[in-house]
C-alpha cells in the first residue's frame, strides 16, 4: 500500500500510516486525562507534486512531539498545492504553526494519505504500510510470552471471532445483570470472546455470570491505570477467582495515542498489573492495547506485552472503501510484525469494524451494505485464525456522543446495526 509522507514548514515529520480517530470507551461520567488541548486548525497547506491543481480534502492528521511520539489524531482540512504554484492565497493565514503540549515539547502534525493503488512507497516514507498483502494466518499464532506462565486462550473459543461489548445503556446508566444477560443471549453463539474495557458498573460480575451461562470467554480490561490495585481486586471478585473464563487482561486502551499516558507509564502499569494478577491466581496473557499508529511508533508496547494487541479501523482511512477493509487490516498487521523484536509473536486485532450510519470519509462510506461488505472482507482474512480478531462492536453505543470528528458515526458500529434490547 503506497503511503505518502508530507513535510509541513521546516519540521521533520514521522512517516506513519493513516491515523485512526479514537473511540472513547469509558463511561460518560468518566473524564479523559487532563491536558492542554491542541487547537484545531482551519486548514493545513502542503506542497505535493502529485496534484496538478490546488485541492482541498479532509485528511487524518497525527500530531507528534519532537521525538515523533504520537500525541493526538484528528481530521483537518488539508490544502494540497502543486509544486508549480509558489503561493496560495489562503496559505498566509492557514500555514500550521507549532503547538505546545505538556507531554513533551513541540507538537507537529503529520498528514498521511494512503493510496488504494498499492504502488511503491516514496523513498522518504519511513513507515509506510507493507505493499505485500498477506492472510491473517500467514504467521504463527503462538509467541514467546513476556511471562513464562502466560497461557494461550482456550481452544474452545478459537473457532469464533471476538466482539467488543459496552455495559452502558443509551442514557449512560449501567446495565443491570438481567440486561447484560439479555445482550449475551443475542450474541453469545456468534462470538467466542467478549471484550470489556473496565471494571466499573459491576460489568465484570454481570458479564461473568452471562459468560458462564452461555459458554463465552472474557477479555477483561483495567481502563484506569492509576487504580490498578482496585481494578485487579474488583476483577478477581467479579469472576469469583474463576480465572479459566478469562482469555486476556488488557492494560489501558489507546492511552499513548490519546496522550493519556507515556510509553513508560503504560509498560510500568503492565508490569504492575501482571504481578498483581499472578498473585491473584491469573496466569493468562496481559497486554497493552493501543492503535496501530502508536504501535508502529512504539513497538516496545507489543514487545513487553504477552502478545501484541492493536486496534485497527480502516474506516478512518479516507482512501479505503469497504471492500478494502480486510486488506487494510492485514497490511497493517504485516507492517507491525516487521517492527517487533520477535517477528513470530502473536498479534491480535482487538478492535476493527465499520459503521452502518454516519457521514462519509472519502471512500470510506458508512451504511448497512457497506458494513456487511467490510466485515465480510475482514472475516475472510481471519477465516482460519478467528481467535486473533475482535470486532467492534456488539451493539450500537447510544451512550456516546455523535461528533463531526468521528463522522457522526460514533454511536453506530453495532454488528448489523443491532441495538441492545434495553435501548430499543
Confidence at 159, pLDDT banded by 50, 70, 90: confident
Maximum average pLDDT range among 42-51, 87-96, 110-119: 42-51
Q: Which of 283, 351, 359, 403 is catalytic?
A: 351
What is the average per-residue pLDDT within 269-289?
Answer: 98
Is it the case that residue 410 has pLDDT exceeding 90?
yes
Is it the case that residue 147 has pLDDT exceeding 70?
no
Structural domains of the chain, ranges and CATH numbers in brackets: 3-114 (no CATH), 155-423 (3.20.20.80)
Higher pLDDT, 163 or 72: 163
Is it the case that residue 234 has pLDDT exceeding 70?
yes
HEC per residue, 195-229: ECCCCHHHHHHHHHHHHHHHCCEEEEEECCCCCHH
> Within 10 A of 13 (CB to CB), how many other CB atoms are there?
20
Least confident span in 141-155, 300-314, 370-384: 141-155
Active site residue 351: yes
Q: Which residue, among 214, 250, 208, has the nearest Cα to 231 in the 3D structure?
A: 250
Q: Which residue, among 295, 282, 140, 132, has the nearest Cα to 220 in the 3D structure?
A: 282
Confidence at 2, pLDDT banded by 50, 70, 90: very low
Rounded to whole angstroms, the Cα distance separating 372 from 195 reads 21
pTM: predicted TM-score of the whole model, two decimal places: 0.69
406 contacts: CB under 8 Å, gap ≥ 6: 21, 23, 358
Q: 243 φ, ψ to 5°?
A: -70, -15
Amino acid at each position: 500500500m503506497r503511503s505518502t509522507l508530507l513535510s509541513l514548514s521546516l519540521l521533520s515529520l514521522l512517516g506513519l500510516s493513516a491515523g485512526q480517530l479514537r473511540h472513547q470507551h469509558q463511561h460518560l461520567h468518566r473524564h479523559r486525562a487532563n491536558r492542554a488541548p491542541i487547537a484545531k486548525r482551519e486548514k493545513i497547506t502542503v506542497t505535493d507534486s502529485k496534484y496538478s491543481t490546488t485541492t482541498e480534502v479532509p485528511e487524518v492528521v497525527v500530531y507528534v512531539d519532537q521525538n515523533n511520539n504520537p500525541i493526538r489524531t484528528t481530521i483537518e482540512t488539508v490544502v494540497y498545492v502543486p509544486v508549480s504554484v509558489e503561493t496560495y492565497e489562503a496559505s498566509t493565514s492557514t500555514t500550521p504553526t507549532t503547538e505546545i503540549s505538556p507531554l513533551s515539547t513541540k507538537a507537529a502534525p503529520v498528514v498521511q494519505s494512503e493510496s488504494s493503488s498499492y504502488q511503491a512507497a516514496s523513498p522518504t516514507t519511513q513507515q509506510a504500510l507493507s505493499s505485500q498483502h498477506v492472510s491473517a494466518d500467514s504467521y504463527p499464532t503462538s509467541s514467546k510470552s513476556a511471562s513464562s506462565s502466560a497461557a494461550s486462550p482456550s481452544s474452545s473459543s478459537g473457532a469464533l471471532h471476538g466482539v467488543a461489548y459496552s455495559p452502558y445503556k443509551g442514557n449512560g446508566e449501567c446495565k443491570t445483570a438481567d440486561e447484560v444477560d439479555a445482550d449475551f443471549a443475542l450474541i453469545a453463539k456468534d462470538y467466542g470472546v467478549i471484550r470489556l474495557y473496565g471494571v466499573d458498573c459491576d460489568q465484570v460480575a454481570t458479564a461473568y455470570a452471562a459468560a458462564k451461562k452461555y459458554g463465552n470467554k472474557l477479555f477483561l480490561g483495567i481502563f484506569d491505570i492509576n487504580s490498578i490495585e482496585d481494578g485487579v481486586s474488583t476483577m478477581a471478585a467479579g469472576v469469583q477467582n474463576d480465572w479459566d473464563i478469562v482469555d486476556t487482561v488488557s492494560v489501558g486502551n489507546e492511552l499513548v495515542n490519546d496522550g493519556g499516558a507515556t510509553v513508560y507509564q503504560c509498560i510500568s502499569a503492565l508490569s504492575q498489573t501482571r504481578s498483581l494478577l499472578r498473585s491473584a491466581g491469573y496466569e493468562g496473557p496481559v497486554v497493552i492495547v493501543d492503535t496501530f499508529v502508536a504501535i508502529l511508533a512504539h513497538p516496545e508496547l507489543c514487545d513487553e506485552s504477552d502478545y501484541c494487541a492493536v486496534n485497527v479501523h480502516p474506516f478512518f482511512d479516507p482512501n479505503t472503501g469497504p471492500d478494502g477493509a480486510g486488506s487494510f487490516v492485514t497490511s497493517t498487521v504485516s507492517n507491525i510484525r516487521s517492527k517487533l523484536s520477535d517477528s513470530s509473536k502473536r498479534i491480535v486485532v482487538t478492535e476493527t469494524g465499520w459503521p452502518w450510519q454516519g457521514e462519509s470519509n472519502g471512500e470510506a462510506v458508512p451504511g448497512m451494505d457497506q458494513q456487511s461488505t467490510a466485515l465480510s472482507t475482514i472475516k475472510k482474512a481471519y477465516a482460519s485464525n478467528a481467535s486473533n480478531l475482535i470486532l467492534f462492536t456488539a451493539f450500537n453505543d447510544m451512550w456516546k456522543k455523535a461528533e463531526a470528528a468521528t463522522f457522526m458515526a460514533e454511536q453506530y458500529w453495532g454488528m448489523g446495526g443491532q441495538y441492545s434490547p434495553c435501548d430499543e
